[in-house]
Amino acid sequence: MKSVARRMEESLAHGPIHFTLIDPDKTRGRSAGELAREAERFGSFAILLGGSTGITPEKMADATRSVHRESTLPVIIFPQGPESLTGEADALLFMSLLNSRNVTHVIRLQARAARHVKKLGLEPIPVGYLIIAPGMKVGEVGEADCIDRSDHSAAVGYALAAQFLGMRLVYAEAGSGAPAPVPGPMIRDLKQALSIPLMVGGGIRTASDASSVLEAGADAIVTGTVVEEDGKEALEPILGEVRRRRGG
Ligand code: 1GP
């Protein structure tokens, strides 16, 4: 079986990709699988599994099994801490929150989790995680010095540092439920500077949001809240923008 990172690389060669974020505390049991089935039908690349509260390894394992039953999409853990880990998943974003004030989120949690990740046989995908204002809940929990929406040079500095440290992806995040996505001009500058893929999430709710983020140069987009608020059908127009850029 090819690694998830390899499959991602191959898929990115055909154009941008989409991740469907599922919070296993809010989308329980069978609903996680049903959502994954729709996400796959619309062309999403993978399920990102994570949430900021109420996460347990059991909920993560249940949701993963449900997704695997209903779809062939890989399940990638989007971790909030050691309680997010389950050996049922295919991979995890092994992230460092680069603009946190607290070294715990930069490297200590990762050091605590690393041996467990190895024991579970999870594929770690090294990610430089950057929180852009307003940052929402994850900005608070991660004690981030949120990058100002107009401070492109700070964003580019962190992103390039991630690349130079050997990370495989940069994830620029406005925070789940943000009123607006990461600004287009910042995405443009990030994309221009980087030679590793750029993932963008937070506040993408409509086809037009997706279109501007993709137009600015995002290689991958993440959506979560829109499905919780508007249902699975809300993915269709967003994925339509992704498919259009993949030539289908
Ligand atoms: C999670 O930012 C993403 O990292 C998802 O954001 O919930 O706003 O889609 P939304």
Beta carbon of 21 within 6 Å of any ligand 1 atom: yes
Q: What was the pLDDT predicted at 53? A: 85
Would you give the end-to-end CA distance of the chain in angstroms? 26
Kindly report, residue by residue over 80-123, the tens digit of the pLDDT.
Answer: 888 999 999 999 999 999 999 999 999 999 999 999 999 999 99
The DSSP 8-state label assigned to residue 203 in this structure reads S
Percent of the chain with pLDDT over 90: 95
CATH number at residue 25: 3.20.20.390
CA of 24 to the centre of ligand 1 (A): 14
Beta carbon of 223 within 6 Å of any ligand 1 atom: yes
CA of 176 to the centre of ligand 1 (A): 4
Say if residue 161's pLDDT is above 90.
Answer: yes
Complete DSSP assignment for 39-96 = HHHHT--EEEE--SSS--HHHHHHHHHHHHHH----EEE--SSGGG--TTSSEEEEEE
User: CA 242 to CA 204: how far, in whole Å?
Assistant: 13
Q: How many domains does the chain have?
A: 1
Beta carbon of 20 within 6 Å of any ligand 1 atom: no
CA of 204 to the centre of ligand 1 (A): 7
CA of 139 to the centre of ligand 1 (A): 12
Q: Which atom of ligand 1 is nearest to the CA of 78?
A: 4
Kindly report, residue by residue over 53-67, the tens digit of the pLDDT.
Answer: 899 999 999 999 999
Beta carbon of 43 within 6 Å of any ligand 1 atom: no
Q: What was the pLDDT predicted at 29? A: 81
Mean pLDDT of 27-55: 94
Beta carbon of 128 within 6 Å of any ligand 1 atom: no
Kindly report, residue by residue over 142-160, the tens digit of the pLDDT.
Answer: 999 999 999 999 999 999 9
Say if residue 76's pLDDT is above 90.
Answer: yes
Beta carbon of 176 within 6 Å of any ligand 1 atom: yes
Cα 15 to Cα 44, 103, 108, 214, 242: the distances in Å are 12, 35, 35, 10, 8
User: CA 138 to CA 145: how far, in whole Å?
Assistant: 11
Quote the mean pLDDT of the chain: 97
Pocket test for ligand 1, best of 141, 173, 199, 227 (most atoms within 8 A of CB): 173
Cα 11 to Cα 93, 94, 192, 203, 229: the distances in Å are 17, 20, 20, 24, 29
CA of 238 to the centre of ligand 1 (A): 14
Q: Quote the pTM value.
A: 0.97
CA of 160 to the centre of ligand 1 (A): 23
Percent of the chain with pLDDT over 70: 100
Q: What was the pLDDT predicted at 81? A: 87
User: If we measure between CA atoms, which residue out of 101, 99, 104 comes closest to residue 80?
Assistant: 104
User: If we measure between CA atoms, which residue out of 85, 74, 68 comes closest to residue 120?
Assistant: 85
CA of 164 to the centre of ligand 1 (A): 26
Beta carbon of 49 within 6 Å of any ligand 1 atom: no
Tokens 């974020």, residue located:
21
Give the domain range for residue 162.
Answer: 4-245
